[in-house]
Chain A
Amino acid sequence: NAGVTQTPKFQVLKTGQSMTLQCAQDMNHNSMYWYRQDPGMGLRLIYYSASEGTTDKGEVPNGYNVSRLNKREFSLRLESAAPSQTSVYFCASSEPGSQPQHFGDGTRLSIL
Chain B
Amino acid sequence: KNQVEQSPQSLIILEGKNCTLQCNYTVSPFSNLRWYKQDTGRGPVSLTIMTFSENTKSNGRYTATLDADTKQSSLHITASQLSDSASYICVVSDLWGRRALTFGSGTRLQVQP
A-to-B contact residues, CB < 8 Å: 4, 31, 33, 40-45, 48, 50, 56, 58, 90, 92, 94, 98-101, 103-106
Chain B 85-104 interface 0/1 with A at a Cβ cutoff of 8 Å (1 = within): 00001010100001101111
The interface of chain B, by Cβ under 8 A from chain A, is 4, 32, 34, 41-46, 89, 91, 93, 98-99, 101-106
- Residues of B contacting A: mostly: strand
Which residues of the other chain, A, contact B106 by a CB distance below 8 angstroms?
Answer: 42
Please judge, given known A-B contacts A103-B44, A105-B42, whether A42 and B98 are in contact too, CB under 8 Å: no
Binding site of A, secondary structure by majority: helix, strand, loop or mixed?
Answer: loop
CA distance A105 to B45 in the complex (A): 10
Minimum CB–CB distance from B59 to chain A (whole Å) comes to: 14
> By CB atoms of chain B within 10 A, which of A40, A42, A106 has the most?
A42
27 A-B pairs within 8 Å (CB atoms) are namely A31-B98, A41-B105, A42-B4, A42-B103, A42-B104, A42-B105, A42-B106, A43-B44, A43-B89, A43-B103, A45-B99, A45-B101, A48-B99, A50-B98, A90-B43, A92-B43, A94-B98, A99-B34, A99-B93, A99-B98, A100-B98, A100-B101, A103-B43, A105-B41, A105-B42, A106-B42, A106-B43
CB distance A4 to B98 under 8 Å? no
Residues of B within 8 A of A45 (CB): 99, 101
